[in-house]
């Protein structure tokens, strides 16, 4: 999750979406007048998506054409959380994470902003005409939110959690042909496949390494991510690393997506959010300080206790900088997680032994991610999808030109 955001130029996928739908609209205009007024339609759109520890932070499609009176059901199909948020005229985007109560000397209690976390309107069905704030609240996997659009117009919407995740609903007058749900679904799947391939490609290009440290031991690096445009790889790379007793591991996160490096030493993983009663309203969604801030954060780890990096990353909510290091003092096999993304499979293993010889060149001594074998297949599939999309655009443009 990310808290800061700014309007960005449309990404490549958004441009593709606009091109595909615009072609459809031109074709549709040609038969305007032949379509009788019809009942309101509910279309489906996807908020995010992902697979194989890669999260895609886009609305699919991101440009949505409907007729006045229609509605859109936004569905979240993946573990990453999202919001679907339409701001009121002139409204500033709300912060995702806010301090609770007055400032105190210690670290603040941070909560998910209730204005973002819970639906608006609080009750009844949501309808947006550009005037009042409409918000899905946090959408978990499988949850959805329906908004109807009674008035013609162009309405921007955002995910407050992911910078750059935004879309537009174009509400056209009744009778103008808009894309079918099947065309939307095809576009959504094509975008997802292309984004997943992009994520795999970025993951495969990550370089990690090692160096001799001041103690004469080896410091090994593990990368989190990577993130590329709206695609976030939720992995530790390498996923499994063999080191010697006395060696140090440094985890680096230079992306805007916060991650944690958390060893529980066999105990249950901590909850990220601790709901606390708050008067008669919804509970306060308190960010667990044991996750948000460093805890027993080194320099040594002997395989016992709770060790947490805090949020590491280059974004504004990082509480612990962009890197975290631990020196392993005891032989053993230790698993760790990112508490934020463990549900997406973000976990790693450090095998601490003896006799691991750091190679003098390359990364041959670094264990490969078990996901490596799947890379080629996925990349191939993504390429096929891209080719199919190119074909679709050419076909649509040709038919639009004919029309
Ligand atoms: Cu993470």
Q: What is the pLDDT of residue 59?
A: 98
pTM exceeds 0.85:
no
pLDDT tens-digit map of 284-304: 999 999 999 999 988 999 999
Q: Which two tokens stand for residue 102?
A: 């007055």
**Weakest-pLDDT range from 38-47, 178-187, 273-282, 360-369:** 360-369
Q: Tokens 């704030």 correspond to what residue? A: 133
Q: 152 C-alpha vs ligand 1 centroid, how far in Å?
A: 40
Mean pLDDT of 219-228: 94
Mean pLDDT of 149-163: 96
Q: 146 C-alpha vs ligand 1 centroid, how far in Å?
A: 29
* Distance (Å, whole) CA 130 – CA 140: 26
Q: Residue 207 to residues 160, 195, 352, 362: CA-CA distances in angstroms?
A: 31, 21, 21, 10
* Residue 380: partners with Cβ closer than 8 Å, 6 or more residues away: none
Q: Which two tokens stand for residue 192?
A: 């997802």
In contact, 236 and 305? CB cutoff 8 Å = no
pLDDT tens-digit map of 310-349: 999 998 888 999 999 999 999 999 999 999 999 999 999 9
In contact, 118 and 282? CB cutoff 8 Å = yes
Q: 40 C-alpha vs ligand 1 centroid, how far in Å?
A: 41
In contact, 247 and 218? CB cutoff 8 Å = yes
pLDDT tens-digit map of 64-104: 999 999 999 999 999 999 999 999 999 999 999 999 877 77
- Name the strands in the sheet holding 54-60, side by side, starting at the edge strand that comes first in the sequence: 126-127, 144-148, 71-75, 42-51, 54-60, 231-233, 227-228
Q: 149 C-alpha vs ligand 1 centroid, how far in Å?
A: 36
């Amino acid at each position: 999750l990310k808290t800061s955001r700014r309007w960005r130029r449309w990404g490549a996928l958004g441009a593709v979406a606009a091109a595909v739908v615009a072609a459809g609209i031109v074709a549709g205009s040609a038969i305007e007048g032949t379509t009788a007024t019809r009942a309101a339609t509910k279309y489906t759109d996807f908020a995010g998506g992902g697979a194989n520890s890669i999260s895609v932070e886009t609305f699919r499609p991101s440009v949505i054409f409907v007729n006045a009176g229609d509605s859109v059901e936004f569905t979240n199909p993946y573990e990453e959380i999202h919001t679907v948020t339409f701001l009121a005229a002139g409204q500033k985007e709300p912060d995702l994470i806010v301090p609770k109560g007055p400032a105190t000397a210690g670290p603040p209690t941070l909560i998910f902003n209730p204005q973002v976390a819970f639906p608006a309107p609080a009750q009844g069905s949501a309808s947006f005409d550009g005037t009042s704030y409409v918000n899905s609240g946090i959408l978990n996997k499988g949850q959805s939110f329906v908004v109807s659009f009674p008035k013609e117009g162009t309405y921007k919407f955002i995910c407050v959690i992911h910078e750059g995740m935004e879309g537009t609903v174009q509400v056209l007058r009744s009778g103008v042909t808009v894309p079918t749900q099947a065309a939307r679904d095809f576009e959504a799947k094509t975008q997802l496949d292309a984004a997943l391939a992009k994520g795999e490609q970025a993951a495969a290009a990550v370089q990690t390494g090692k160096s001799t440290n001041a103690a004469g031991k080896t410091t090994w690096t593990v990368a989190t991510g990577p993130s590329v445009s709206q695609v976030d790889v939720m992995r530790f790379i390498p996923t499994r690393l063999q080191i010697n007793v006395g060696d140090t591991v440094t985890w680096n996160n230079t992306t805007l997506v916060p991650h944690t490096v958390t060893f529980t030493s066999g105990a249950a993983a901590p909850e990220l959010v601790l709901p606390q009663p708050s008067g008669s309203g919804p509970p306060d969604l308190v960010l667990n300080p044991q996750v948000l801030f460093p805890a027993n954060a080194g320099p040594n780890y002997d395989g016992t206790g709770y060790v947490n990096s805090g949020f590491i990353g280059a974004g504004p909510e990082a509480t612990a900088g962009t890197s975290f290091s631990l020196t392993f003092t005891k032989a053993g096999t230790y698993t760790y997680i990112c508490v934020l993304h463990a549900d997406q499979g973000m976990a790693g293993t450090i095998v601490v032994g003896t006799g691991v010889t750091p190679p003098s060149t390359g990364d041959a001594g670094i264990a490969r991610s078990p996901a490596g074998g799947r890379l080629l297949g996925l990349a191939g599939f993504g390429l096929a999808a891209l080719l199919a999309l190119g074909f679709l655009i050419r076909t649509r443009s040709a038919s639009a030109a004919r029309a």
